[in-house]
Amino acid sequence: MEETGRIRWMNREKLERKERNPQEELLLQSIYKLEPEYWSGVKLTEDSLYGAFRFHEGAQNAVSAAFLLNAHDFILVTRKEEKDTLLRSENPTMEEGLEELFENVLKRGQQKVERMEKYLIDMEQEIVKGKISRNRNQNIFECKRSLAVWKNDYVQFLNLVEGINGLEQKKKEDQGQILSEESACYFRVYENKLRRLTEETQFLYEELVHIREALDAALSYEQNRIMKVFTTVTTVFMPLSLIAGWYGMNFTGMPELGWEYGYPFVGILSVLVVLVCIWFFRKKKLF
């Protein structure tokens, strides 16, 4: 056993093979609950808190871990390849390990949120400028899926920290204590930070809904503009159809039928009608 007051990391495969004490058995049962069912939570024993959590590093990559926490130890169980994602220091103290663990999660989360926020702002600017890409709906769907995963992860992690703080407070009311005062302070501080990160993610999720509405409005405007141009062109040339139909009847009694200048007259009349229509529509700012 390593010295108390420090974070101890265990490889899951080694933990399964070794002879386990009651605390280590709790750890193993906690991480079993992560597979195949998605479970995240914390429970109280007589002198320890234990539980499990999971969050996503990418579209398909999920990091899962089980932990046991008391006043002297914070034991963390992960797969070997996941240790560096959560904890990089070797044999850190309790407070150092808790700070590093939370800062890793929060730093990654904040970086992802900032990149997503910049991406959504750029997307909204392009939509406002009328630059509507064919893949824009697909981009919005991918952003929505990513934000939904992040939001669920941060809510689960926040619930975990809230559970630890709540159980610790309950233990204090019963004249007991599980965590050291400094460790308990870390959890209270990071509960507020996780809540802010969750709220920022929720805000981006709502902002994405507004961007989708802006895209729909831009598409409707573009469609209406095209229809207006077609309607205007049709209206401009409609009098020409009337003139062509009128003078195409070729009745014997038509005055212009035998007139030497009848053909040039109809041509000039058609041009004048088109020019008058164009002037009228431009005056009304219809195109």
Query: Residue holding tokens 């019963």?
Result: 174
Instruction: Please tell me whether the peptide bond between 255 and the residue prior to it is cis, using omega within 30 degrees of 0.
Output: no
Q: What's this model's pTM, rounded to 2 decimal places?
A: 0.67
Which residue ranges form the domains of the chain, and what is each CATH number?
Answer: 7-221 (1.20.58.340), 227-283 (1.20.58.340)
One digit per residue, pLDDT tens: the chain, 287 residues? 334 455 667 667 777 777 877 777 777 776 666 453 445 678 777 777 877 777 777 656 777 777 778 777 777 777 666 666 677 777 677 777 778 888 888 888 889 899 999 999 988 888 888 777 777 888 888 888 888 888 888 888 888 888 888 888 887 777 677 777 877 888 888 889 999 999 999 999 888 888 888 888 888 878 888 888 888 888 888 888 888 888 777 777 777 777 788 888 888 888 888 888 888 888 877 66
The pLDDT of residue 81 is 63
| Greatest Cα-to-Cα distance within the chain, rounded to the nearest angstrom | 118
CA distances from 100 to 7, 12, 49, 281 (A): 11, 21, 19, 68
The rounded distance, in Å, linking the Cα atoms of 121 and 272 is: 50
The pLDDT of residue 39 is 56
The rounded distance, in Å, linking the Cα atoms of 275 and 161 is: 74
